[in-house]
Structure 1
Amino acid sequence: MTQSFGKVGVLYGGHSAEREVSLMSGQGVYDALRSKGVDAHLFDTGVHTLADLAAQKFDRVFIALHGRYGEDGTLQGALEMLGIPYTGSGVMASSVAMDKVMTKRIWIQKGLPTPAFELLDSDANLTGLDQRLGLPFIMKPQHEGSTVGFSKIDHVEQIPAGYALAARFDHVLAERFIKGRELTVPVLGVGEGARALPVIEIVAPGGNYDFEHKYISNDTQYFCPADLPEALSLEIREITRQAFLALNCEGWARADFMLDDENRPWLLEINTSPGMTSHSLVPMAAKAEGISYADLCVQILSMASLKVRAVARLEK
């Protein structure tokens, strides 16, 4: 029997460029929790206010938001102030993980493998970028996900357009392109008890794993567990766990990798509120370990907590 969680809010929708994905994720989580007898209620943060959220008197919430104002620490801070336990990482970890540049800087400091990069806050540094990073390279916004504003630059002539596309959303991250196999690894848990789930390999048509091939098309192939030597699979899973711990993440996340032609894994980014749609990868990896979608949602919900309790303790 599912433990009692009280009144649970499933926070979805929001204001970010990933709103449509979040609507799908939240609906899936809501249906799953209801199927397990959880008193779940959908709450669209893109429509309702924080005052509305406080008035609902949720006992805890499942954050099914992606991108800014849901995955970046802002909502987490509000929930801390309201005293509502929530799923996933805390304020600082959410904020850092959403910032691809800060994430990479921490991983580099920890000795974890991630491709060379440059942060472009204007178009002044575009000259010679192809020589510094090599061609091809990637351009993407510093704080977006789901390949929003993403470009692969194969020729020098594409640089201005790639920069302009990413700059519509944010400062621009230019990153060395790693040719090879695309992998992703979910992780569940808290602290040293966190564990990486099986590695998934993604094979998109033409190697183009864009928004269409992530969430809409059925042409993308997924292999879970990925066909890798056992030692390499264990290595990648441990790198994922270390990447998760380095940012002080909590509850769940999903790290994205490229595996180059010499079987060297390269961390690209980590998502602290991964997709939970019918095409999503965390449920796929969980299923490979015998965890159903509904049970996965309950497990994530069971780890919901407030990350700051000191003031409340002192007042008592």
Structure 2
Amino acid sequence: MTEKSKALEQGTKEIVIDAKAFGRVAVLCGGLSPERQVSLKSGNRIFTALKDRGVDAVLVDAGDDLVDQLRAVKPERVFLALHGGDGEDGTVQGLLDFLHIPYTGSGVKGSALAMDKCRSKLIWKSMGLPTPEFVMVDKTTDLKAADLPMPCFVKPNGEGSSICTFPVYTREELSSSISRVLGHADQAMVEQLIAGPEYTVAILNGRALPVIRLETDNTFYDYEAKYLSDDTRYHLPSGLTEEKEQELQALSVKAFDGLGCSGWGRVDVMQDDQGRFWLLEVNTIPGMTDHSLVPMAAQAVGYQFADLVLELLRISDEEERSWMPDDISGIATEMS
């Protein structure tokens, strides 16, 4: 049975989509976050695909005057291609909810929680899901007194694309790495480093797509490896046994649903030397460039890029944006 047949058997439907039924679609991209350049690439690729399929699409480089921009365009639907910042943390989603404009991807709460790495991990821990140990620090933290995991990754709490993220192997490196992150963000996460292969799992309409294993000659899968390098290796099939692949897919769906995310996204995971998986983060508006992972996974089950874009628009009408994880006991205590 082919991968596409398996996906169809599991419930993925082949649908003939009327492009005109979407009305005018604003593709929001760019924005003001550090991920602006990647967002512009994603937005332009999505816009081109929509136009090629006959959709009345308008490309919008989101600025401080976004409300005026939307008033001028008068979209009947929005395709969100904003990465990081206000575009991915629930702010723009809240505006669109207020304006009663359907949009792709997660709603306010799912977006906000996924962008906040600390709260994502607290929720996963409360659900019994595996995620590396971590400590949050800011400029007032006494680093000499803090019990910080080593080796570790030091990263901003609310950014994606591995921006300003550093692997740290010695105590001597730790202070300078934290200072660099705190020059960019209010809080830094010092997260236990899991040595082993990295995987990513795309989620589409409630289901996990085939797992991709990432391999790079860089120190880790950083910004350059994600978006610029032609030497990064993407293993699909992942090389996992069928049992381990299904285990990872099920874990990723639980992690995604546990944050109240919907529509589509991507879950990033590490595997240790004992074969255990560890959740890193959820990306609610993954990249859609020619180096991006969700289109790659979707293609493995039969979606060409334009088909994927149209499917994301189609399900934007059907998405459940309420936030009701099944098991969130203990979160209030952890956050207090």
TM-score by length of structure 2 reads: 0.87
2:240 maps to 1:224: no
Aligned match for 1:235, one of 247, 267, 276: 247
Deviation digits for residues 108-160 of structure 1 (CA, Å, limit 9, x no counterpart): 1111110000111225232255x6412x1000000001111101111111112
Moved more, 46-55 or 208-217: 46-55
Matches of 1:138 and 1:78, distance apart in 2: 34
Matches of 1:101 and 1:173, distance apart in 2: 8
The aligned residue for residue 314 of structure 1 is none
Check whether the contact 2:218–2:225 (CA below 8 A) recurs between aligned residues: no
The aligned residue for residue 39 of structure 2 is 22
2:247 maps to 1:247: no
Check whether the contact 1:183–1:257 (CA below 8 A) recurs between aligned residues: yes
Matches of 2:155 and 2:287, distance apart in 1: 19
Matches of 1:173 and 1:125, distance apart in 2: 14
1:47, CA displacement in angstroms?
6.5
The aligned residue for residue 8 of structure 2 is none
Check whether the contact 2:262–2:320 (CA below 8 A) recurs between aligned residues: no
The aligned residue for residue 191 of structure 2 is 175
Moved more, 109-118 or 52-61: 52-61
The aligned residue for residue 55 of structure 2 is 38
Matches of 2:45 and 2:143, distance apart in 1: 42
Matches of 1:5 and 1:285, distance apart in 2: 25
Matches of 1:21 and 1:303, distance apart in 2: 24
Deviation digits for residues 187-236 of structure 1 (CA, Å, limit 9, x no counterpart): 011xxxx1000100000114421111111110110001200011000000
Aligned match for 1:281, one of 284, 288, 293: 293
The aligned residue for residue 3 of structure 2 is none
SS in 2 for 1:282: helix
Matches of 2:308 and 2:286, distance apart in 1: 13
Aligned match for 2:171, one of 156, 169, 176: 156
1:48, CA displacement in angstroms?
4.4
TM-score by length of structure 1 reads: 0.92
1:288, CA displacement in angstroms?
0.8
What is the root-mean-square deviation in Å for CA atoms of aligned residues?
1.6
Structure 1 runs not aligned, ≥5 long: 310-316
SS in 2 for 1:104: helix
Matches of 1:257 and 1:92, distance apart in 2: 22
The aligned residue for residue 327 of structure 2 is none
The aligned residue for residue 334 of structure 2 is none
Runs of 4+ aligned structure 1 residues displaced above 4 Å come to 306-309
Matches of 2:64 and 2:50, distance apart in 1: 22
Count matched residues.
303
The aligned residue for residue 90 of structure 2 is 73
SS in 2 for 1:125: coil
Matches of 1:122 and 1:225, distance apart in 2: 44
Check whether the contact 2:132–2:191 (CA below 8 A) recurs between aligned residues: yes
The aligned residue for residue 281 of structure 2 is 269
Matches of 1:208 and 1:232, distance apart in 2: 23
SS in 2 for 1:163: helix
1:70, CA displacement in angstroms?
0.2
Moved more, 198-207 or 248-257: 198-207
Q: How does 1:1-316 map to 2 (within 5 A)?
A: 2-3=17-18, 4-46=21-63, 48-127=65-144, 132-134=148-150, 136-170=151-185, 171-189=187-205, 194-305=206-317
Give, as a single letter, the amino acid of the residue that structure 1 aligns with 2:89: D
SS in 2 for 1:276: coil
Matches of 2:22 and 2:163, distance apart in 1: 35
Check whether the contact 2:110–2:259 (CA below 8 A) recurs between aligned residues: yes
Matches of 1:161 and 1:46, distance apart in 2: 33
Check whether the contact 1:80–1:308 (CA below 8 A) recurs between aligned residues: no
SS in 1 for 2:109: helix
Matches of 2:148 and 2:220, distance apart in 1: 24
